[in-house]
Amino acid sequence: MNFESRKYVLIAGAVFVSVVFILRLFWIQVIDDRWKAEAASMAERKVTVYPSRGLIFDRNEKLLVANTPVYDLMVVPREVKPFDTATFARLISVPLDDLIERLAEARAYSRYKPSVLEKQIPADQFSAISVHLHKYPGFFGQSRTLRTYPSHAAAHLLGYLSEVSPSKVEQDEYYKPGDVIGVGGLEQFYEEQMRGRRGVNYVLVDVHNNVKGPFKNGLYDTLAVPGKNLFSGIDLDLQLLGEQLMVNKKGSIVALDPATGEVLCLVSSPSYDPELLVGRIRNTNYKVLQQDPIKPLFDRALQAQYPPGSIFKIVQSLIALDEGVIGPNTGFPCNKSLVGCHNHPTATDVEKAIQYSCNPYFYMVFKRLVEQDKDRSRFRDAAIGLGIWEEYMLSFGLGQRPGMDLPSVKGGNIPGPAYYDKKYGKERWAFSTIYSASIGQGEVLVAPLQMANLAAIFANKGWYHDPHVIRAIGHPDSLQSRYLEKHRTDVDPKWYDLIQEGMRRVVHEAGGTARQARIPGITVCGKTGTAENPHGKDHAVFIAFAPMEDPKIAIAVYVENSGFGGTWAAPIASLIIERYLTDTITRPETVKRMVEADLIAAEKDYVRPPKKPRRPR
């Protein structure tokens, strides 16, 4: 056969094969309904795989925050067929009007993309719903996790999860409508580390909402990456004790490990059960908590700012000693015409002044700090002296936001020359204008966290680490390097022994103002304070560290509207210290008295007596 003949045979064969394929495709697509029905019954669905959020552990690896499975009910509008909306609304426990509105919102968002119709349905409830979903094409469940709190404690410290705002969705491409995000506490500060990374599965489903298998054998699927676990310095047993002791009281407890800066417990009272802000009940419960007059959502440990009262005197002592305006044996008479004081023996040296907490003594100390005769003008002289004082105070971490791993931490106020120039005018103020700062009143403000850090500085004789809750991320041994840096005050360390001895006397010697803080067999160094409250009974504060010989814990307790610092704040602190150092409590009667005291109720009945005016000098 010649070449020309073979060419026609090849062409004829190709035409024959083409005709066969065309006829077969015509048969499948037009004549045979079985193939058409099979293709129509299959659809591709993109399913988001949410990662498990990182867990949070205490210092002994007890769980503070865990995860529990829940389901979001999703809808793809283009796949929805006409259905009985009233019956479906009852099935998923959603009001009919809400269901209709949500379906309209889903269609407006996208007819082809899945939308959340009802979120965070507990697993047991969703199991009852899922058996009926085959009757409702276009609806399916998507698994995710919610937070759960095994100890029901540390609500302010931990924070909570909430649906991401539309503005956040626009700012951060990671988030999609319906996602959750950390709000407050550790959940917010460590959001990026704990959230992980989403994955995606593509699956084929039939008209009955049954998954028939992966699309293209999972070729386009991506794995979810779990969030990192957080390992904290919190001692859960200590946290639970602190919350028990502060029941029916307004105030806070902050305890630190002075050697590391790790937070051992952080209590804000009144508080709430963190489980109240989980799942579909979150919005309802949040409104109730927000409207509560005792403000359980307010974090008093980090955000409340108070006059420090007499605990400020030990800082004043250090600065005055370092500046050389007083010596260890400097004494001043208790001259109540300068500023009010309680009855006590004469403070003939610094240690006794701290022990007795003598107001006139520290009035004179501050006067010498401010008026150092560095300028002929008493106004300029005061500005120079106060400027030096301000620099010292800043070195103690006061007057500035602490470098802590929690959001919304307040930094208090240390009023320097610029502050008073703005308030009164330049060269319009002198010591006689600002003397109330000598005893931690007036414009001086500190947050309870800063008070605890002061106690750590006294324990360490002049240095501190930034207070922090989380010691490691991902693994217990992966310590956060940023919290290993030591900050040192401007005061020479040689003066701290003197201050420590004065603080020991406050607790252990006759005439000390914190005898109720004594613990059998443990040397406690402390300082009481009473912060003036113009609206009611004064606030009580106590800071301490122990044991004196080798400090393991530094603490600040602040109890609002409770009067003298030694009455409530000091015994509460001593119970926390004893429990941490000895793992037991030898004074159950003190625990009982603290727990049963309802100071919130007593506050309502209190009528403040009129105060005698002080004569400024």
DSSP 81: P
Cβ pair 118, 89 in contact under 8 A: no
The token pair at 144 is 């995710």
Where is the domain boundary, 228, 245, 279? Answer: 228
The CATH number linked to 221 is 3.90.1310.10
pLDDT of residue 273: 96
Cα separations in angstroms, 602 against 248, 536, 569 = 10, 11, 16
pLDDT at 81 over 70: yes
Residue 409 shares a structural domain with residue 274: yes
617 falls within a domain: no
The span from the first CA to the last CA of the chain, in angstroms, equals 130
Cα 176 to Cα 174: distance, rounded to the nearest angstrom: 7
Q: Is 228 strand, coil or helix?
A: coil
Residue 36 shares a structural domain with residue 118: no
pLDDT at 608 over 70: no
Cα 617 to Cα 613: distance, rounded to the nearest angstrom: 13
62 falls within a domain: no
Total domain count, the chain? 3
Which contiguous run of DSSP H or E holds residue 599? helix 599-605
Sort strands 230-232 and 56-57 into parallel, antiparallel or unpaired.
Answer: parallel
**Which parts of 338-489 fold into alpha helices (H)?**
350-356, 359-370, 378-395, 417-424, 431-434, 448-460
Residue 456 shares a structural domain with residue 392: yes
594 alpha-carbon distance from chain centroid: 25
612 falls within a domain: no
DSSP string, 251-298: EEEEEE-TTT-BEEEEEEES---GGGGSGGGHHHHHHHHHH-TT-TTS
479 falls within a domain: yes
Mean pLDDT, residues 527-535 taken together: 82
The token pair at 178 is 């319906």
519 alpha-carbon distance from chain centroid: 31
Cα 376 to Cα 429: distance, rounded to the nearest angstrom: 15
238-292, pLDDT tens digit by residue? 999 999 999 999 999 999 999 999 999 999 999 999 999 988 788 899 999 999 9
Residue 409 shares a structural domain with residue 451: yes
- The residue behind tokens 């429990």 is 579
Cβ pair 243, 133 in contact under 8 A: no
Angle between helices 236-245 and 569-582 (to 10 degrees): 160
Report the predicted TM-score, pTM, of the whole model to 2 decimal places: 0.85
Cβ pair 507, 525 in contact under 8 A: yes
pLDDT of residue 457: 98
Cα 58 to Cα 472: distance, rounded to the nearest angstrom: 11
One-letter amino acid identity for 210? Answer: N
Strand partners, 46: 202
Mean pLDDT, residues 3-13 taken together: 60
382 falls within a domain: yes
Omega before residue 51 within 30° of 0, cis = no
179 falls within a domain: no
Strand partners, 479: 472
Share of the chain above pLDDT 70, in %: 87
Residue 253 shares a structural domain with residue 107: no
pLDDT at 213 over 80: no
Cα 439 to Cα 164: distance, rounded to the nearest angstrom: 46
The CATH number linked to 274 is 3.40.710.10
Cα 241 to Cα 249: distance, rounded to the nearest angstrom: 14
Closest CA to 56 of 69, 47, 65, 48: 65
Mean pLDDT, residues 339-364 taken together: 93
Residue partners of 93: CB distance under 8 A and separation at least 6: 125
Three-point CA angle 445, 347, 363, nearest 5°: 35
Omega before residue 547 within 30° of 0, cis = yes
pLDDT of residue 580: 98
pLDDT at 616 over 90: no
pLDDT of residue 215: 66
Length of the chain: 617
Three-point CA angle 78, 199, 74, nearest 5°: 30
453 falls within a domain: yes
pLDDT at 567 over 80: yes
110-120, pLDDT tens digit by residue? 888 888 899 88
pLDDT of residue 519: 95
Omega before residue 270 within 30° of 0, cis = yes
Residue 406 shares a structural domain with residue 522: yes
Cβ pair 416, 444 in contact under 8 A: no
One-letter amino acid identity for 163? Answer: E
**Which parts of 77-205 fold into alpha helices (H)?**
85-92, 96-109, 123-130, 155-158, 166-171, 185-189, 191-195
**Residue 388 — very low, low, confident or very high, per pLDDT cuts 50/70/90?**
very high
Residue 449 shares a structural domain with residue 468: yes
Closest CA to 298 of 448, 172, 93: 448
Torsions phi, psi for 512 (to 5 deg): -70, 150
161 falls within a domain: no
Residue 92 shares a structural domain with residue 25: no
Residue 207 shares a structural domain with residue 291: no
Cα 410 to Cα 298: distance, rounded to the nearest angstrom: 12
Cβ pair 308, 531 in contact under 8 A: yes
Cβ pair 180, 51 in contact under 8 A: no
298-330, pLDDT tens digit by residue? 999 999 999 999 999 999 999 999 999 999 999
Share of the chain above pLDDT 90, in %: 68
Q: Is 305 strand, coil or helix?
A: coil
- The residue behind tokens 């007593």 is 602
Residue 433 shares a structural domain with residue 520: yes
Alpha-carbon dihedral sign for residues 149, 154, 155, 156:
negative
Residue 219 shares a structural domain with residue 278: no
156-174, pLDDT tens digit by residue? 999 999 989 989 988 998 8
Average pLDDT, the chain: 89
Domain that holds residue 9: 3-40
Residue 243 shares a structural domain with residue 202: no
